[in-house]
A and B are shown apart, each in its own frame.
Chain A
Amino acid sequence: MRLAALSLVLLAHPALANKVYITNEKGNDITVLESETLEVIATFPAGNRPRGITISPDGKELYVCASDDDTVRVFETETYTETHTLPSGPDPELFVLHPSGNPLYIANEDDNLVTIVDVQSHRMLAEVPVGVEPEGMAISPDGAFVVNTSETTNMAHFIDTATSQIVANVLVDQRPRYAQFTSDGKLLFVTAEIGGTVAVIDVATKEVVHKIGFEIPGVLPEAIQPVGLKITQDGSRIFVALGPANRVAVIDGTTFEVLDYLLVGQRVWQLAFTPDESLLFTTNGNSNDVSVIDVAAGEVIRSVPVGQQPWGIVVGPD
């Protein structure tokens, strides 16, 4: 059954294999998977408490928040060697790269700051004071706004990238963790871990236009904690990692209705698509594995053991 589904995927997408990079928060390393075989092809050290991870648009540089080292480490994806570090400010947790590949916007959880760093000159460009415990970071497709979510202040802060000033603050539910814009830049989705909801924000008016709630038979409401979120390029589907509920919710991008809950590993945290969006990977912090979802079929097709407490994930471009 599993094999059949897998070979189907391989048949349907014969194109390219991509590298999938997973940060292991407790293992202090990065696991590299190959998206076609779903085999682990490498593991390399990544500093202390690696969490947020992203990749340059050309796929050559990997950026990793080494939270307990108070720095962003940069690795060559070809050799897995560290080339340099970037000044991140204290306790970097999540960040987002400008669509052009520069600069990098970093949330500093302990210091109520967003740090903006030039990835070429390796210099800090600006610090923007935000709410308490900044975490989620998103950038609009046109690069005009960076959004930061602050976990104790419970807001999505819209930062104008031209002036590095906050231009709007949108109140959401308790402990906002992750944010993402739709590819047309019209909507922003923000997950609230403790609130148990996803806020849909109209980017033009900066207002919450819808709130998505979750209900899973047999799962305590308190265990449903939305964390990572990914939207398909065409905006038709939204996937939300529900933390200790051990499920990924599949949401209709037009009606915002929850269509399905996919059972994955324990304490599912972050999500990443392959570039062709055929597969979605989830990091499962408590079961130390990655679940692989066949997006078209809406099924979990494999779980792959990785390192200790997998947290962040990024897939290399084609």
Chain B
Amino acid sequence: MQFIAAISLVGLLAPALAEADTLIRAAVLRVDVAGLPPISRLDLAPADLGLAGARLGTEDNATTGSFMGQIFETADFVATPDTAAAALEEALAGGAGFVVILADDATTLALTDLAGDRALILNAGARGDGLRGADCRGNVVHVAPSHAMLADALAQFLAWKKWDSWFLVAGSHPADVDLAQAFRTAATKFGAEIVEERVYEDTGGARRTDTGHVQVQKQMPVFTQGAEDHDILIAADEAGIFAEYLPFQTWDARPVAGSAGLVPRTWHPALEAWGATQFQNRFEAMAGRPMREEDYQAWLAIRIVGEAATRTQSGDPANLREHILSPEFEVAGFKGQKLTIRDWDHQLRQPILLTTGALTVTVSPQDAFLHQVSQLDTLGRDRPETECSFP
């Protein structure tokens, strides 16, 4: 566990305020699951994944706090699924009123229930629709996008392109199944047709070997051979088993989207619009690497706490929580518009970037998709469709 240097920074900026300062404590808990390395070594997870984003958020909050008489402290925890509960207890015992969690769906739900009313959980990792639906909880705010939001963001763009015949290839892991369902729902919602579906079974075996590309070049065309005529192949591969192998290796000359090719994301290190350049610069100067989605989401989660503290001019977690969950709450996140929280499932509304390896291709919601309340509600589960009723 390590505390970040934000406290000393505040001390430098506003020594006069030291006596009366209010302390706002948060924690960030990342739960790592042992597994295969990613397909591309460019995607290897840095040791401070997510934590670095939270650190920048804490520094940003501390700078603002220096003018408000507020000090922000964020404790870092990295755990395994087995040690996650103990880490959460330690964070809560340390006084954290807000816990940013980067974990899979099941772990996030278990930790949310364990925290109960002792802390507000900010989910910065898990994207399952169940967490926003049947398994929703009142003590969590989902900063990470839902699978439904990501799928809808892609579907809107494909509808605009009139690429409405999809070949869906889904992995066999539970998160893949959830994402694939989100693509099916999105297809119905935006008038696309899934003309063929296949499941890519994860059977283990060699992946990145010195002759890997030779195998891939033979396997992927065969796997995608003979599909119904389609405009685009959509891959649902949250587990990261096969999707990256698909572009340029499909049987038909068709583009790939979803988990590879054109990928919906909350953040991309090449984003320059909406003042993002200076934000990327600040992160890279601090972390020494480009910002990933997990970092952006953790940064945003910590900024949500800071924004509530600034607006309420309070350090009381109950006050901050009330403000965060109120209709008045809004936060800026370098997305060109204010970000707010849906009251029906506590999902943060945000634009979704559709990206390639090097660039942001477009941003959804697409202009043509209108909504009577917020255009951002064209992404993900809207109020009438929600399956969430807070226990």
Given known A-B contacts A110-B278, A222-B337, A222-B375, A152 and B60 have beta carbons under 8 A apart: yes
Question: For residue A244, which residues in chain B have a CB less than 8 angstroms away from its CB?
Answer: 336
Q: Is A169 an interface residue (CB 8 A)?
A: yes
How far is the CB of A126 from the nearest CB of chain B, in Å?
15
Does B64 contact A109, Cβ atoms closer than 8 Å?
A: no
Question: For residue A174, which residues in chain B have a CB less than 8 angstroms away from its CB?
Answer: 330-332, 338
| Interface residue tally for chain A (C-beta within 8 Å) | 27
Question: For residue A131, which residues in chain B have a CB less than 8 angstroms away from its CB?
Answer: 63-64, 67
> Using a CB-CB cutoff of 8 Å, which residues 86-119 of chain A contact chain B?
91, 109-110, 112
Q: Give complex CA distance A248, B71 in Å.
A: 40
Query: B120-142: contact bitstring with A at CB < 8 Å (1 yes, 0 no)?
Result: 00000000000000000000000
Among A129, A169, A194, point to the contact of B332 (Cβ < 8 A): A194
Does B281 contact A110, Cβ atoms closer than 8 Å?
A: yes
Question: For residue B285, which residues in chain A have a CB less than 8 angstroms away from its CB?
Answer: 110
Among A133, A154, A195, point to the contact of B310 (Cβ < 8 A): A154
Given known A-B contacts A129-B13, A175-B275, A91 and B281 have beta carbons under 8 A apart: yes
Question: For residue A195, which residues in chain B have a CB less than 8 angstroms away from its CB?
Answer: 330, 338
Question: For residue B60, which residues in chain A have a CB less than 8 angstroms away from its CB?
Answer: 132, 152-153
How far is the CB of B371 from the nearest CB of chain A, in Å?
9
Q: Give complex CA distance A169, B275 in Å.
A: 22
Q: Is B282 an interface residue (CB 8 A)?
A: yes
Does B278 contact A175, Cβ atoms closer than 8 Å?
A: no
Does B282 contact A194, Cβ atoms closer than 8 Å?
A: no
Does A153 contact B332, Cβ atoms closer than 8 Å?
A: no
Given known A-B contacts A157-B67, A174-B338, A220 and B375 have beta carbons under 8 A apart: yes
Closest residue to A244 on the B side, CB-wise? B336
Does B13 contact A153, Cβ atoms closer than 8 Å?
A: no
Q: Is A171 an interface residue (CB 8 A)?
A: yes
Does B67 contact A155, Cβ atoms closer than 8 Å?
A: yes
Q: Give complex CA distance A151, B310 in Å.
A: 14
Closest residue to B62 on the A side, CB-wise? A132
Closest residue to B335 on the A side, CB-wise? A194
Among B64, B281, B330, point to the contact of A155 (Cβ < 8 A): B64
Q: Is A166 an interface residue (CB 8 A)?
A: yes
Does B63 contact A171, Cβ atoms closer than 8 Å?
A: no
Question: For residue A196, which residues in chain B have a CB less than 8 angstroms away from its CB?
Answer: 338
Residue from A110, A153, A155 having most chain B Cβ neighbours under 10 A: A153
How far is the CB of B344 from the nearest CB of chain A, in Å?
20
Does A151 contact B275, Cβ atoms closer than 8 Å?
A: yes
Closest residue to A169 on the B side, CB-wise? B67
Closest residue to B56 on the A side, CB-wise? A132
Question: For residue B303, which residues in chain A have a CB less than 8 angstroms away from its CB?
Answer: 152
Question: For residue A169, which residues in chain B have a CB less than 8 angstroms away from its CB?
Answer: 67-68
Question: For residue A157, which residues in chain B have a CB less than 8 angstroms away from its CB?
Answer: 67
Question: For residue A194, which residues in chain B have a CB less than 8 angstroms away from its CB?
Answer: 330, 332, 336-338
> Using a CB-CB cutoff of 8 Å, which residues 203-243 of chain A contact chain B?
220, 222, 225
Does B332 contact A110, Cβ atoms closer than 8 Å?
A: no
Q: Give complex CA distance A25, B381 in Å.
A: 39
Q: Give complex CA distance A110, B63 in Å.
A: 13
> Using a CB-CB cutoff of 8 Å, which residues 115-141 of chain A contact chain B?
129, 131-133
Q: Give complex CA distance A86, B64 in Å.
A: 29
Closest residue to A168 on the B side, CB-wise? B67
Q: Give complex CA distance A112, B62 in Å.
A: 12
Does B63 contact A132, Cβ atoms closer than 8 Å?
A: yes
Does B310 contact A171, Cβ atoms closer than 8 Å?
A: yes
Does B331 contact A110, Cβ atoms closer than 8 Å?
A: no
Question: For residue A112, which residues in chain B have a CB less than 8 angstroms away from its CB?
Answer: 63
Question: For residue A220, which residues in chain B have a CB less than 8 angstroms away from its CB?
Answer: 375
Question: For residue B64, which residues in chain A have a CB less than 8 angstroms away from its CB?
Answer: 131-132, 150, 152-155
Please give 19 more A-B residue pairs, beta carbons under 8 A apart, in addition to A109-B278, A110-B281, A110-B285: A110-B278, A129-B13, A129-B66, A132-B60, A133-B275, A152-B60, A153-B63, A153-B67, A153-B310, A154-B310, A166-B67, A169-B68, A171-B310, A174-B331, A174-B338, A175-B275, A175-B332, A222-B336, A244-B336
Pairs of residues from A and B, 5 with the lowest C-beta to C-beta distance, nearest first: A222-B337, A153-B64, A174-B332, A169-B67, A194-B332
- What residues of chain B have their CB less than 8 Å away from a CB belonging to chain A? 13, 60, 63-64, 66-68, 275, 278-279, 281-282, 285, 303, 310-311, 330-332, 336-338, 374-376
- What residues of chain A have their CB less than 8 Å away from a CB belonging to chain B? 91, 109-110, 112, 129, 131-133, 150-155, 157, 166, 169, 171, 174-175, 194-196, 220, 222, 225, 244
14 CB contacts below 8 A, A to B, read A110-B278, A112-B63, A152-B60, A152-B332, A153-B63, A153-B64, A153-B67, A154-B64, A154-B310, A154-B332, A155-B64, A169-B68, A174-B332, A225-B336
